[in-house]
Amino acid sequence: MIRGSIISDTEWTIKLMETGHIPGTKWIVVRWSQAKREVPVDPLEMARYIQNREPAEAAPEWMLDLLDKLTKSLTPLEKDAYELVRGRGYSFSQAAQLLGCSKASVQSYIKRAEKKIQLAIRLQTISKGICLPEGKVFRL
């Protein structure tokens, strides 16, 4: 009896290590799609990759100034939604959860923010001109 328990526990552990998820659990659609995106990776390999990475460079000062000028006309919600979706790569749904509003609201915040930023770029270009370092191109 104890021997059978040890064997089944060992088989369960091996299955867990092979697949990367708990064996025998029921699959719901969300978990199933998540498991299709996940790739089991050896932690030691991942540690070597992370150690050998070069640190990311901070954005240049001229770019931070330009972004500050362009986002001055945005409301706090538009600015937060724009930063989450366009800057950090969140989906509209994820941003909506973080901001405590609907997905449609986030989409409209983004649309309004992009219109305001495009208008600010046009006005800046027409009135003063955006001064970028030579060879730099601003793309929205």
Q: What is the pLDDT of residue 19?
A: 78
Q: What is the pLDDT of residue 140?
A: 54
Mean pLDDT split into 10-residue runs, the chain, 140 residues: 78 83 63 64 72 69 80 90 89 92 95 89 67 58
Q: d(Cα 86, Cα 109) in Å, to the nearest integer? A: 12
Q: Which domains does the chain have, with CATH numbers?
A: 2-52 (no CATH), 61-127 (1.10.10.10)
Q: pTM higher than 0.75, yes or no?
A: no
Distance between alpha carbon 104 and the CA centroid of its chain, in Å? 19
Q: What is the pLDDT of residue 2?
A: 73
DSSP letter at 74?
Answer: S
> Is 138 within 8 Å of 130 (Cβ atoms)?
yes
Residues 6+ apart with CB under 8 A from 58: none
